[in-house]
């Protein structure tokens, strides 16, 4: 049997390690692989499933809606959440499930949640929909930065929940952080963790998130998103194989894979979190940049596709603000796990609010290079492209530990010759 985890990006996923460990433990002849699929190429996955080349897939960003649309039939929870993260084949038909709900329930059991306690869900995205369905029937509160959007989200979900202003704590509540906060070291609002009874933090990384660290320091039971990942993977495993999952084996594999990652840069290397050049500055890209980042590249698709380093790519392809948030969450996770580093390019003015581009530093897939950098700026700042390239090239050469960096030149052949002769 052959299974895959499908997404873009996908290299950060722990799913292959988790499932392959379970297959080995139960002597199941099967493999679980990475499958990088661009946002507009999910049809390839459907073709392989229907042709029997794949027996099932786990689906991550940005394809959960694509999987929902591709399914011939969906489970009740998948229908209500509007997302599918697991596809299997039954009698030639694609059946879609959302195992994230099972993942939330598993995390709550692992944390020893009091069944009668109130629940405070933070966020109103895809992760929050799984949380709401997992705790339906409890006394639920939901808090988001935009109260109006939070109320609309609760209405769409059809779950009885009270919407609260962002940062409102609930005494002795089971707090479920369904936002990306923590992926890049951010803390939850003051008082939310301190007054919690239990914390379920969907964010995770190589180190504890600030919320989990605070909970442990205060003696409040807490689990992170890796525990939820294992719970949803166990549910998917049962759908894939028809067998109960060896969940302890899967959790050990997940933790070990997390510890093994992050060797893109040496363990003693302090990754820079800021840099300032002529007219611009860099800071780690994260969910806090969502609207400004989305506006920057959506307004410049054709321009970016002509930028060196992106000419042969179909990226960027238009996507919703919500899917862009998923993408930024993935980049923040990569940064936290030291697997790749994405920076927002901002205006140099300290109180300037514009995102004018992005810089990506990731392992190179090109033989002879240990790292690859790519950058773009929005069309209205096109003159900054070469400025950013030159400054970043010098910065990486001076501050980063790479020996053979690939970074598409912005210089003409005449300029390169002139610089070489200096």
Question: Which residues are the active-site residues?
Answer: 64
User: What does residue 91 show for φ and ψ, rounded to 5 degrees?
Assistant: 50, 40
- Please check whether residue 83 is in contact with residue 129, taking contact to mean a CB–CB distance below 8 angstroms: yes
Q: Which 3-state string (H, E, C) describes 67-110?
A: HHHHCCEECHHHHHHCCCCEEEEECCEEEEECCHHHHHHHHHHH
User: What does residue 289 show for φ and ψ, rounded to 5 degrees?
Assistant: -95, 5
Element holding 35 (H helix, E strand): strand 31-36
- How far is Cα 358 from Cα 332, in angstroms, rounded to an integer? 13
Give me the residues paired with residue 121 across strands: 142, 176
Q: Are strands 371-377 and 355-362 parallel, antiparallel or unpaired?
A: antiparallel
The CA-atom distances, in angstroms, between 100 and each of 45, 59, 158, 230, 356 are 21, 11, 18, 10, 35
């Amino acid at each position: 049997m052959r299974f895959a985890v499908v997404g873009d990006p996908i290299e950060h996923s722990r799913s292959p390690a988790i499932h392959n460990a379970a297959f080995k433990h139960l002597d199941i002849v099967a493999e679980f692989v990475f499958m990088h699929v661009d946002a507009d190429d999910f049809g390839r996955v459907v073709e392989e499933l229907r042709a029997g080349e794949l027996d099932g897939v786990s689906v991550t960003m940005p394809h959960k809606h694509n999987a929902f649309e591709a399914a011939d039939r969906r489970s009740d929870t998948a229908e209500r959440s509007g997302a599918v993260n697991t596809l299997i084949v039954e009698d030639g038909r694609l059946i879609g499930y959302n195992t994230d709900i099972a993942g939330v329930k598993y995390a709550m059991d692992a944390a020893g949640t009091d069944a009668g306690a109130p629940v405070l869900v933070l966020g109103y995205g895809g992760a929050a929909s799984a949380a709401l369905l997992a705790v339906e029937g409890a006394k639920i509160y939901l808090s988001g930065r935009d109260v109006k959007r939070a109320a609309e989200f609760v209405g769409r979900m059809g779950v009885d929940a009270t919407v609260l202003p962002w940062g409102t704590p609930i005494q002795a509540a089971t707090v479920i952080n369904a936002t990306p906060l923590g992926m890049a070291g951010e803390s939850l609002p003051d008082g939310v963790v301190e007054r919690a009874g239990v914390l379920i933090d969907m964010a995770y990384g190589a180190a504890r998130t600030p919320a989990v660290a605070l909970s442990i320091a205060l003696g409040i039971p807490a689990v992170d998103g890796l525990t939820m990942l294992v719970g949803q993977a166990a549910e998917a495993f049962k759908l894939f194989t028809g067998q109960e999952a060896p969940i302890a084996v899967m959790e050990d594999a997940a933790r070990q894979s997390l510890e093994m990652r992050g060797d893109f840069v040496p363990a003693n290397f302090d990754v820079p979190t800021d840099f300032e050049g002529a007219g611009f500055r860099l800071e780690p890209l994260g969910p806090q940049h969502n609207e400004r980042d989305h506006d920057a590249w959506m307004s410049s698709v054709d321009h970016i596709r002509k930028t060196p380093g992106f000419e042969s790519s179909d990226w960027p392809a238009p996507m919703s603000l919500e899917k862009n948030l998923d993408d930024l969450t993935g980049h923040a996770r990569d940064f936290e796990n030291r697997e790749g580093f994405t920076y927002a390019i901002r205006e140099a003015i300290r109180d300037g609010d514009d995102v004018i581009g992005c810089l990506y530093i990731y392992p190179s897939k090109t033989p002879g290079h240990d790292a690859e950098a790519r950058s773009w700026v929005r069309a209205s700042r096109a003159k900054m492209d070469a400025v950013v390239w030159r400054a970043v090239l010098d910065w990486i050469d001076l501050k980063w530990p790479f020996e053979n960096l690939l970074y598409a030149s912005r210089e003409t052949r005449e300029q390169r010759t002139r610089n070489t002769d200096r």
